[in-house]
Every structure is written in structure tokens, then in C-alpha cells.
Structure 1
């Protein structure tokens, strides 16, 4: 009989932490709920023993934006400071996302048109930064991770964003890997390197894949509704 065991990260709500009502800087009316990622020991893929806490953060119950715990202090500042902080976080998120998406797309030396479209669609979501993101995309497409540039973007995100936001970056970036329907071993290893660069344990890989599957299901549902 084979015994299958391992570890994985699971998200939990911190029940004894007050909800920050109607305070989301992104949608302006969602409430921020304190959550954490905890690493669990799994037996036959079932979490059985809680291990260490990977990160605590706040997540909007409406738009699902995620913030590190410093948002509680930031919300006490002026409206201008809150907006400036949100703008900086969005910029860091977008740069890390486009750099990682492009790097993932070229890692197998076969940059498909479908992958290019995914990246261009992502860039369109950040209109105020479009030219800057296009420049990052072209630079990584030509130079890959020269001078550690992709990991520098991820390290900047690590210093400013929550673990949930980082996993969302990697899950969205990983969409380009599914253009051919499979994730190769070298691509899986790259995602694990990205997790480490973001200060997250490589065991969070399964959490990343779960996020990716959720995105696929959401896309499928939208297609079925149209």
C-alpha cells in the first residue's frame, strides 16, 4: 500500500479579527476581511495537521482585491495618501505580472500567438501604464531574465503586496503556459522559482494550480453565458 503525503497552503479567515467595513481602496464599498495562508501536512491529499502560517493579509469581500496587513494603518491616512498607495501597488502588480507572463511564454522557446494575445489583453487592463508595460513586455521577450530583471519585479511585489496578490500574479501569469494544454516540467520548476522569489514556499505550487483552475472555470462559465 502506498502512503501519499505532502504539504500545501490553504486560505483561512481569521475569525477573531475585526472586519474593516466598506473600506476597500479598489472598489470603495467592499469590506476587508483578515485572512491567512497556513501550510498543512496532507495525507492522501487531505489536510490533516496545521503547520506554520505563511502570511496574513486582508481581502475584499466584494472585488477580491488583496492587501498586506499594513492597509489597516494606511486607511487612517488622508484620501490622497490612500489613492497614492493604491496607485503604487497597482503599478508594482502590473509590472510583475507582465514580466512574469512574458518570461513564462518564452521559457519553452516557442512564443505562440495565443500567448502574445493573453499578454496584450492583460496590458489592456492597465491603460494608464500601457506604454510602460509594452516596453517591459518587449524587453523581456528579447532579453528574457537578463540581469535578473524578472525576479527584480517579483521581489518588488514581494515587498509591497500580500501573499494572495502574489499568488494571483503567478496564477494569471501561468495562463500563458496552458496555451498548448499542458504544463511542462521546466515550466513547473519556473513557477516554483517564482514562488521562492516572492517569498512563498514552493509547496504553495498546488495553491497556485488551484487558483489557475478557478480562473479557467470562471472563463468557461462566461463563455457559456455568452
Structure 2
């Protein structure tokens, strides 16, 4: 008899935390619900024992945007300050996304046309910052992770964004893993390094691949701001 065990991350609602009513900066009228990611020990792929908490964050019950817990402080600021915070968070998200996708695409030494298209599609999703993102793309394409630049972008994202937003970055970056029809070992190892850099357990690698097979990538772009 084979016994299959491991760990996986699951999202839970924090029942004793107050809901922030009509407070979502993205859709303006959604309620922000406190959530946490917890790692579970699994037996035959069934979660049986809760382990450590990976992160706590707020998620909008309407548009599904996710925010780290400092959103409570941000919401006390003026509307102009809130808008500026959202703008900066979106830029941090987009730079980390493009940098990781580009780095992933060149790690195996074969920059496929399919991978280039995925990156260009991602950049087109942020038309107001296209120039900045193209600069990030070209720099990483030419210099790879020189001076740790890709991981610096991910570290900025880790400090500014929620774990849900980080997972969305990596899930979209994982599209590159599948763009040419095969996942190379170098790509898999790099994705696990990205997870660790984002403060997430490397065991969540399979969760990312599962998410790609279960959802259209456009859905993953929801909730990316904080």
C-alpha cells in the first residue's frame, strides 16, 4: 500500500476579524474580508493537519482584489493618497510580473516565440506603464538576474503586496513554464526559488500549476493591486 502525503496551502476566512464594509479601493463598494493562507499537512491529497500560517490579508467580496493588512491604515488617508498608493502598488505588481516572466523565459537558454507573446500580452494589460515595463523586459532579457534585479522586484512586491497578489504574479509567470509545451527542470527550480523569495513555501509550486489548469489566466489578473 502506498501512502501519499505532503503539504498544500489553503485560504481561510478569519471569522473573528471585523469586515471593512464598502471599503475596497478598486471597486469602491466591496467589503474587505480578512483572510489567511495556512499550510496543511495532506494525506492522500486531503488536508488533515493545519500547520503554519503563511500570510494574512484582506480580500474584496465583490471584485476579489486582495490587499495586505496595512490597507486598514491606508483607508484612513485622503482619497488622493489612496489613489497614489494604488498606482504604486500596481506598478510594483507589474514590474515583478514582467521581470519574473522574462527571467523564466530565458532560464533554459531557449527564448521561444510563444513565451515572448505571453510577456507582450502581460505588458499590454498595463497600457499606462507600457514604457516602463518594456524597459524592464529588455533589461532582464539582456542581463538576466544580474545584480539580483529580478529578485529585488519580487522582494519589493513581497513588502508591498498581499500573498494573494504574489501568488497571482507567480501563477501568471508560470504560464511561461507551459507556453512551449514542456516544463524544464531549470524552470521548475526557478519557480520554487521565486516562491521562497516571496515568503511562500516552495511546496505551493504544484498549487500554481493546478491553478493554471483550472482557471483562465485572465481570472488570475483579478485582485492584483495590493
**Normalising TM by the smaller chain, what interval?**
over 0.9
- The aligned residue for residue 22 of structure 2 is 22
- The aligned residue for residue 185 of structure 2 is 185
For structure 2, the residue ranges without an aligned partner over 5 or more in a row are: 220-226
Deviation >4 Å, runs of 4+: none
SS in 1 for 2:77: coil
Q: Where do 1:55-66 residues align within 5 Å?
A: 55-66=55-66
- The aligned residue for residue 202 of structure 2 is 202
Matched residues in 2 for 1:159 and 1:170: separation?
A: 15
- The aligned residue for residue 223 of structure 1 is none
In 2, are the aligned partners of 1:26 and 1:65 still within 8 Å (CA)? yes
- The aligned residue for residue 167 of structure 2 is 167
Task: Give per-residue Cα distances to partners, 1:155-213, cap 9 Å, x unaligned.
Answer: 11011111110000000111111112232222111110000111111122222223222
- The aligned residue for residue 85 of structure 1 is 85
- The aligned residue for residue 74 of structure 1 is 74
Matched residues in 1 for 2:79 and 2:70: separation?
A: 16
SS in 1 for 2:67: strand
Q: Which has the higher contact order (CA 8 A, sep 6+)?
A: 2
- The aligned residue for residue 3 of structure 1 is 3
TM-score scaled by length of structure 2 = 0.92
SS in 2 for 1:2: coil
For structure 1, the residue ranges without an aligned partner over 5 or more in a row are: 220-226
Provide the alpha-carbon RMSD of the alignment: 1.5
In 2, are the aligned partners of 1:56 and 1:69 still within 8 Å (CA)? yes
Matched residues in 2 for 1:98 and 1:92: separation?
A: 10
TM-score scaled by length of structure 1 = 0.92
Matched residues in 1 for 2:218 and 2:24: separation?
A: 23
